[in-house]
């Protein structure tokens, strides 16, 4: 069966020193967990220090973004190979904040997914509808287009190993979680879309996270749903105590 994956997206929080303390505290609370994949995604400036701090632990390291080119004149950007080189295993691609504030599109998400896979990184591709979309009953249309656009040109085998995070924009950082039923319905829709594009085997092995105000008091209900295989967590990942409770959701 699919191994649950709980990932912490620290966004623009924590210096390197603060991040090291956080992962040390986290490791003390979660080092016995072996049936859940744990990933932390600190800012770029903390990655190297945290790679050293988590060496030999069960915690994986993800970046929050990357460029799709291998190198070149792209001031301010970070290449996939650079992330791999400093010990990243994962990378978040197309978070809604990147789409909203930094003009990322399904096309750039697709370019980045291909580049991440080529570099040997495991992408966590984010999709999710805005409140206006949900209110207009357009959730499946919007999320379906993001999934199709993002995954275009990938092989069934590549898709089988992917993680997709379904994050309704209206639930991010708002304290307003999607109900477990609604979250599962969209995750199931994403899985059906993957099945149509790449076949049943890819759909069954791809892991789909829910994200958007996941907290210790709602994680168990979300994780109990059949199509929710994990969580991508912002706010509640910034403290070891709360993040460890999400990792130990059972
Ligand atoms: P949140 O963020 O848990 O603070 O809502 C989730 C995310 O943006 O990944």
* Segment 77-102, tens digit of pLDDT: 999 999 999 999 999 999 999 999 99
Which atom of ligand 1 is least distant from the CA of 236?
A: 3
Residue nearest to atom 3 of ligand 1 (CA): 234
Checking if the pLDDT of 119 tops 90, the result is yes
Average pLDDT across the chain, whole number: 97
CA of 212 to the centre of ligand 1 (A): 5
Active-site annotation holder among 67, 90, 95, 104: 95
Ligand 1 atom nearest to 211, measured from its CA: 6
Position 126 scores a pLDDT of 98
Q: Which residues line ligand 1 (CB under 6 A)?
A: 9, 167, 172-173, 211-214, 232-236
Q: DSSP string spanning 88-141?
A: --EEEES-HHHHHHS---HHHHHHHHHHHHHHT-EEEEEE---HHHHHTT-HHH
**Tens digits of per-residue pLDDT, 139-160?**
999 999 999 999 999 999 999 9
**199 C-alpha vs ligand 1 centroid, how far in Å?**
30
Amino acid 175: pLDDT = 84
CA atoms of 142 and 167, how far apart (whole Å): 12
Say whether pLDDT at 177 is over 90.
Answer: no
Ligand 1 centroid vs 219 CA: distance in angstroms? 13
d(CA 127, CA 150): 9
Q: Are 223 and 231 in contact, with CB atoms under 8 Å apart?
A: yes
1: pLDDT strictly greater than 90: no
Q: Quick check: helix, strand or coil at residue 75?
A: coil
Please spell the DSSP secondary structure of 182-245, one letter per residue.
Answer: HHHHHHHHHHHHHHHHH-HHHHHHSEEEEESS--TTTHHHHHTSTT--EEEESGGGSSHHHHHH
Instruction: Specify the pLDDT at position 115.
Output: 98
Per-residue pLDDT band for 221 (boundaries 50, 70, 90) equals very high
For residue range 9-41, list pLDDT tens digits in order. 999 999 999 999 999 999 999 999 999 999 999
To test the pocket of ligand 1, the residue of 95, 169, 172, 208 to mutate (highest count of ligand atoms within 8 Å of its CB) is 172
């Amino acid at each position: 069966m699919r191994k649950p994956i709980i990932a912490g997206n620290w966004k623009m929080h924590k210096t390197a020193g603060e991040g090291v303390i956080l992962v040390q505290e986290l490791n003390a609370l979660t080092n016995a967990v072996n049936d859940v994949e744990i990933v932390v995604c600190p800012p770029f400036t903390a990655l190297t220090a945290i790679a050293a701090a988590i060496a030999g632990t069960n915690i994986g390291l993800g970046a929050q973004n990357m460029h799709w080119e291998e190198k070149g004149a792209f001031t301010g950007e970070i290449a996939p190979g650079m992330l791999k080189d400093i010990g990243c295993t994962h990378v978040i691609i197309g978070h809604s904040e990147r789409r909203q504030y930094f003009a990322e599109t399904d096309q750039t998400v697709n370019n980045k997914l291909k580049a991440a896979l080529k570099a040997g990184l495991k992408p966590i591709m984010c999709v999710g509808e805005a409140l206006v979309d949900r209110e207009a009953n357009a959730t499946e249309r919007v999320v379906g287009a993001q999934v199709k656009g993002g995954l275009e040109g990938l092989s069934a085998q590549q898709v089988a190993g992917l993680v997709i995070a379904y994050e309704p924009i209206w639930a991010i950082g708002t304290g307003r979680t999607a109900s477990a039923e609604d979250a599962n319905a969209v995750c199931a829709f994403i899985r059906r879309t993957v099945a149509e594009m790449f076949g049943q085997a890819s759909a069954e092995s791809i892991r789909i996270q829910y994200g958007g105000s996941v907290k210790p008091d709602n994680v168990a209900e979300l994780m109990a749903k059949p199509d929710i295989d994990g969580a991508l967590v912002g706010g509640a990942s910034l403290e070891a105590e709360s993040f460890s409770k999400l990792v130990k959701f059972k």
